[in-house]
Amino acid sequence: MKPRKITECVSFLGAQDFDRRLFDELIPLPDGTSYNAYVVKGSEKTALIDTVDPPKLAVLMNQLNGVEKLDYLIVQHVEQDHSGSVPAVLNRYPNATVITTPKARPMLVDHLHVNPERIPTVADGETISLGNETLEFIHAPWVHWPETMLTYLREEKILFTCDFFGAHLATTELYATDKARVYEAAKRYYAEIMMPFRAMISKHLKRLDDYEIAMIAPSHGPVYDDPAFILGAYRHWVLDPPQNLVLIPYVSMHGSTQVMVDHLTASLVDRGISVKPFNLTVTDLGKLAEELVDASTIIFATPTVLAGPHPGVVSAAYLINALRPKLKYAGVIGSYGWGGKAPETVTGLVGTLKLDWFDPVMVKGLPGKEAFQALDRLAEAIAMRHQSLS
């Protein structure tokens, strides 16, 4: 695609990656992704904001054919999907300088071997004039790495945000017009990338209240020409209390744990609680992450394998712990053949979340009447706790 103008002086560049299915060798990408870059042409100077993932370098280079002279290459984030093509762009424009944060400078040297003499850094709040346009740099660490910053184009009131407010969504739509689709992709992206840094994001959101924003231009997914849409969504995900929702990530080897999951699900629903079970052998982890944004309670359900939880449950618990959702309550249910310590292991895996734990319900073999009664007591205990949710 050719560069597309979003204002008289700002063009949308970059590549749509419709075929990519995995990010960081971890995150599923059902809708692909994009690597957006932006050219800002002032009356005196020209800046490029972000680049693209190196496999898409040719797309960016072709789009830059209309840019004879580049003065500044703004690096908002060093991760390679945005900065991997920085060395190639600098080769093409030998007089361009990289503008970034002091924290990003050594990272560009370490990860991409950029010549440090070409990287003057900017302080938080510092500005650069392009003539009739002014770029203001806002240090915003941990969206998604510690070196990240945002760029505010004052005269146009456009906020460039790189990963922040992004969505893994390849689309030919320039703007977030299909709001339902973009909301889902942005929520999933928030859960996977931003949720672990909720406390920092809350501060960044508060700071953005001081800016008049006409457009938000992220480096993944479409541009928000209605910024209230994504700002409101983020405020809800970050600040609102968790909801009346229980997640049950589970594995069942021979059916006993499945019977327990089915019974607990029905028992919770009977008590007015929403439940989302996730069979981890077929689950898209992005969907599980997305539901963690709103859930109050998580119940791990696992068979016992070699004295501990099933490795599929171990892997999910480790990831959930790392994502740091707003969860308040947790429990473990499952079945065993002759012994084991599955609940203790699972509890240890999510230790940083400071959860309030229900008594585990572990059953020898196939669950029967007593097991079902124990699961009903668990459902009742969850319902009692959920009454305190606002």
Position among 31, 50, 79, 156 found at the interface with ligand FEO (CB under 6 A): 79
Structure tokens at 379: 């459902």
- The answer to whether residues 303 and 335 touch, using CB atoms and an 8 Å cutoff, is yes
Nearest Cα to 251, choosing from 322, 188, 342?
342
Nearest Cα to 35, choosing from 90, 81, 94, 83?
81
CB 136 to ligand FEO: min, Å: 22
Closer to ligand FEO by Cβ: residue 147 or 294: 147
CB 48 to ligand FEO: min, Å: 17
CB 259 to ligand FEO: min, Å: 42
Gap between the Cα atoms of 80 and 111, Å rounded: 8
CB 204 to ligand FEO: min, Å: 15
Is 77 a residue that touches ligand FEO (CB under 6 A)? yes
CB 251 to ligand FEO: min, Å: 30
The dihedral over CA atoms of 225, 229, 232, 238, expressed in degrees to the nearest 10, equals: -90
Is 310 a residue that touches ligand FEO (CB under 6 A)? no
Closer to ligand FEO by Cβ: residue 114 or 248: 114
Which residue is at the shortest CB distance from ligand FEO?
79
| Per-residue binding letters, 92-131, with ligand FEO (x by CB under 6 A) | ----------------------------------------
Closer to ligand FEO by Cβ: residue 28 or 308: 28
Size of the site for ligand FEO (CB under 6 A): 7
CB 157 to ligand FEO: min, Å: 24
Between the CA of residue 333 and those of 125, 216, 240, 362, 379, what are the distances in Å?
51, 44, 29, 5, 12
Stretch near ligand FEO under the rule CB under 6 A, chosen from 68-76, 79-87, 183-191, 253-261:
79-87
Gap between the Cα atoms of 258 and 252, Å rounded: 5
Gap between the Cα atoms of 220 and 165, Å rounded: 8
**Which ranges of 3-152 would DSSP assign to H, the alpha helix?**
57-63, 80-83, 86-92, 104-112
CB 59 to ligand FEO: min, Å: 16
Nearest Cα to 144, choosing from 55, 52, 81?
81
Is 20 a residue that touches ligand FEO (CB under 6 A)? no
Position among 17, 31, 50, 81 found at the interface with ligand FEO (CB under 6 A): 81
- The answer to whether residues 261 and 278 touch, using CB atoms and an 8 Å cutoff, is no
- The answer to whether residues 326 and 297 touch, using CB atoms and an 8 Å cutoff, is no
Closer to ligand FEO by Cβ: residue 144 or 326: 144
Position among 20, 56, 82, 328 found at the interface with ligand FEO (CB under 6 A): 82
Interaction residues for ligand FEO, span 154-213 (CB under 6 A): 163
Stretch near ligand FEO under the rule CB under 6 A, chosen from 75-83, 95-103, 232-240, 357-365:
75-83
Structure tokens at 38: 């932006």
Is 220 a residue that touches ligand FEO (CB under 6 A)? yes
Closer to ligand FEO by Cβ: residue 169 or 361: 169
Q: Who's near 252: CB < 8 A, 6+ residues apart?
A: 258, 261, 279, 301, 303
Position among 144, 198, 204, 263 found at the interface with ligand FEO (CB under 6 A): 144
Is 386 a residue that touches ligand FEO (CB under 6 A)? no
DSSP state, residue 194: I
End-to-end CA distance of the chain: 48
Phi (first) and psi of residue 73, to 5 degrees: -115, 110
Binding interface with ligand FEO (CB under 6 A): 77, 79, 81-82, 144, 163, 220
